[in-house]
A and B are shown apart, each in its own frame.
Chain A
Amino acid sequence: MMETAVRYIGQGVVYAVFAATVWYFSLSPTYVHLGPEKAVIRLTFAHAAKHKGACRTLSSKELMKMAPNMRQPRVCPRERVPIYVEFDLDGKTVHRASLPPTGLAGDGSGKIYKVFPVVAGSHKIAVRLRDSTRQTGFDYKAARDVILSKGQNFTIDFKAPMGGFIFE
């Protein structure tokens, strides 16, 4: 009888230790993902750059070599140029990248997703993007003075039909 009681008490202790382990690690220790004085700037977009080459009209000689059902007089190359992007934070270029087009044929969008944790407060932001065959200069530029609050998620997106860079 006594032995049984001791066993049940022992089982209670084991269950209590197991429950405490489950409970503790199900929410502890706390994890600090972003410091209390910090904010985040995300530079992210997916954009289809210009094609590498111009469209051209096939000569009649070239057309005759093709199967009758394939004879289209005008052909355009699929491959796109890589996108070149630069991001300045407080007057300093903190990121520059060449974004190759996605897809097996290199005809998809170039994409970027970069996260920059910064101290909350005032910042000068500038972004530049080149998506054409030009070798120098940029096709799109934008700059903004922002005041980031603590914990703010500030996003820089890009949509060419909407005029370029979008800050939100």
Chain B
Amino acid sequence: MSLLKSIIRFFFMKLEGLFDRIFTPAWNPMYCLGALGYFYFWVVAGTGLYLFIFFDTGLTEAYDSIEYMTNDQWYLAGVMRSLHRYASDALVIMVLLHLLREFAFDRYRGGRWFSWVTGVPMIWMIFAAGITGYWLVWDTMAQYVAIATTEWLDWLPIFGEPVARNFMSVSHLDDRFFTLMIFIHIAVPLILLFIMWFHLQRVNYAKVNPERGLAIGTMAMLLVLSFVEPAVSHGPANLATVPGTLNLDWFYLWVYPLIEETSPAAIWGFAFFGTIFLIVIPWLPPRRKMAVAQVNLDNCNGCTRCVVDCPFSAVSMQRRTDGAPFTQEAVVDPDMCVSCGICVGSCPTATPFRRRGELVPGIEMPELTLARMREITEQAASDLHGNSRIIAFGCSHAIDPDTLKQDNLGSVVMPCTAMLPPSFIDFVLSRDLADGVLITGCRDGECHYRLGARWMDERLAGARDPRLRKRVDRDRICKVWAAPSDHKLLQHEVVAFADKLEKLGQGDVVKQVKVQSGSGDVKEPV
């Protein structure tokens, strides 16, 4: 399984790197596959509403009304029909890529099982909506799909009479059938929409809309395709004959040739066991869960920053229980916490400057406490010499800075770079532990914990609490978001950063803080 993941991950990273250059990280479609899926869904829904105005539910009227839209009103209804089809097809591609990517990058386990599992019925709903859509056209392909579907359903021992008998001849079918089909074709996407809402319940700041530039680009692509190659029907359905050669939509209808090649039972087995496999895969095999974030009420003032920054809605505010003079306290839901540590980076009490008493912030990770982080940082700095000493703070899902084999570089690795409170950078530079600080982590837009890179960027830019103090010399900070495949890029950036630090010279370090050593008091700089 891990080999398979590595192979898929390799291709994704190569493609993402290429798209970063072509689209820029903000518009990179690989970073918003889910959002693009939502976008295509809304295109399908919007165009479907328009098509519904002209669609006629009748044995011959269904086909005739679609022919009218395609030929007589080609400039609007015809384009809408094409958009409806092509956006549906693009939706299948997005869902497949989204699923593969989350699988390859191991983003479906632990606290993320909920989004994965709720995604499984969405696959069924998308196919049900697409297939019923093809029935409505009532051309020879619809006839083929209708008969093949009912023959497949008839394998289930739940029908008193074979359902496929409804398509024996025209006399067995009436207009009500199309009323039923349009009802199903509308009801299924509504159920899908409900599950789509459910799918994101444990995702904070879910990205449901692609960036405007990407949305415009993809919409323009669909429009051009709709004008150049408009969707058309086969000939009208005729139950006295059997459809021979068909231009199948392989995104939705691949299953029917497969049924013919194997058997209905085999495909039911595939569908059933495939669904079960997808549902249980987040627990296959069970993995050791890192200890979840822990709230220390003695240092929690209920500021809500951890709640705001948690990417998975695992922290909530509840009424104070310890009698402290604050109205609320942070509470961690262990089932939803993925142990990323981003909450630690957001906590205003997480400052390494504190010397009096034990260094315990309001919220922290038991397996990598803040005190331990300070210890590792000081230890890493102790071996560095010269004018280009670098302390690198990295995340365990991107490149381990230790592998850079760079002289004069000490590293501190965390579950996510955003676990690092910005005050640590200040601490390193003001205490002269190093000449520069390197911040590295997952590539912008594809952070393993979704929001780590974004929050870190905003904290360093002073746009998000806790902010990096203005007094910190920005020339001595280097930030490189790099995927594991960007090893050379990071190496190159580190060398350039070391050269820059060398030129800046140690004497340029502005030391504005004078902490009385041994007093234990935190002397916040002016």
CB-defined contacts of A32 to chain B, threshold 8 Å: 244-246
**Are B165 and A39 closer than 8 Å at their CB atoms?**
no
- Number of chain A interface residues as a range: 35 or more
**Are A108 and B160 closer than 8 Å at their CB atoms?**
yes
- A26-B164 contact given A11-B22, A35-B244, CB 8 Å threshold: no
| Interface flag for B247 (CB, 8 Å) | yes
Stretch at the interface among A13-21, A61-69, A89-97, A123-131: A13-21
Q: Which residue of A lies closest to B162 (CB)?
A: A113
Chain A positions 5-52 with a Cβ under 8 Å from a chain B Cβ: 7, 10-11, 14-16, 18-19, 21-23, 25-28, 30-36, 38-40, 42, 44, 46
Residue of A18, A28, A46 touching B247 (CB-CB under 8 A): A28
Tally B residues with Cβ within 8 Å of A: 47
**Are B250 and A26 closer than 8 Å at their CB atoms?**
yes
| Interface flag for B89 (CB, 8 Å) | yes
**Are A44 and B24 closer than 8 Å at their CB atoms?**
no
CB distance from B127 to the nearest CB of A (A): 15
CB-defined contacts of B53 to chain A, threshold 8 Å: none
**Are B86 and A22 closer than 8 Å at their CB atoms?**
yes
Residue of B165, B218, B244 touching A44 (CB-CB under 8 A): B165
CB distance from A153 to the nearest CB of B (A): 5
Q: Which residue of B lies closest to A40 (CB)?
A: B242
**Are B160 and A30 closer than 8 Å at their CB atoms?**
no
**Are A15 and B89 closer than 8 Å at their CB atoms?**
no
**Are A22 and B93 closer than 8 Å at their CB atoms?**
yes
| Interface flag for B517 (CB, 8 Å) | no
Q: Which residue of B lies closest to A35 (CB)?
A: B244
**Are A31 and B22 closer than 8 Å at their CB atoms?**
no
Residue of A25, A40, A109, A115 touching B250 (CB-CB under 8 A): A25
**Are A113 and B164 closer than 8 Å at their CB atoms?**
yes
| Interface flag for A103 (CB, 8 Å) | yes
CB distance from A15 to the nearest CB of B (A): 4
CB-defined contacts of B218 to chain A, threshold 8 Å: 15
Rounded to whole angstroms, the CA-CA distance of A39 and B242 in the bound complex is: 7
Residue of A33, A40, A46 touching B160 (CB-CB under 8 A): A46
CB-defined contacts of B124 to chain A, threshold 8 Å: none
**Are B248 and A153 closer than 8 Å at their CB atoms?**
no
CB-defined contacts of B249 to chain A, threshold 8 Å: 25-27
Chain B positions 240-296 with a Cβ under 8 Å from a chain A Cβ: 240-251, 257, 260
Rounded to whole angstroms, the CA-CA distance of A16 and B229 in the bound complex is: 13
Rounded to whole angstroms, the CA-CA distance of A47 and B90 in the bound complex is: 45
**Are A151 and B241 closer than 8 Å at their CB atoms?**
yes
CB-defined contacts of A21 to chain B, threshold 8 Å: 93
Rounded to whole angstroms, the CA-CA distance of A32 and B260 in the bound complex is: 11
**Are A44 and B164 closer than 8 Å at their CB atoms?**
yes
CB-defined contacts of B19 to chain A, threshold 8 Å: 14
| Interface flag for B151 (CB, 8 Å) | yes
- A22-B160 contact given A27-B247, A113-B151, CB 8 Å threshold: no
Residue of B29, B157, B162, B257 touching A31 (CB-CB under 8 A): B257
Chain B positions 182-235 with a Cβ under 8 Å from a chain A Cβ: 217-218, 220-222, 224-225, 229, 231
In the complex, besides A30-B246, A151-B242, A152-B240, 15 extra interface pairs with C-beta distance below 8 angstroms are: A10-B23, A11-B23, A15-B217, A22-B86, A26-B249, A27-B247, A32-B244, A34-B243, A44-B162, A44-B164, A46-B160, A46-B165, A111-B160, A111-B161, A151-B241
Chain A residues near B (Cβ < 8 Å):
7, 10-11, 14-16, 18-19, 21-23, 25-28, 30-36, 38-40, 42, 44, 46, 102-103, 108-109, 111-113, 115, 151-153, 155, 157, 168
A–B pairs, 27, beta carbons within 8 Å: A7-B21, A11-B27, A15-B218, A15-B221, A21-B93, A22-B90, A22-B93, A22-B225, A25-B251, A26-B85, A26-B86, A27-B247, A28-B247, A32-B245, A33-B144, A33-B244, A33-B246, A34-B243, A36-B244, A38-B244, A44-B165, A102-B157, A111-B161, A113-B154, A152-B242, A153-B241, A155-B169
Chain B residues near A (Cβ < 8 Å):
19, 21-24, 27, 29, 85-86, 89-90, 93, 144, 151, 154, 157, 160-162, 164-165, 168-169, 217-218, 220-222, 224-225, 229, 231, 239-251, 257, 260
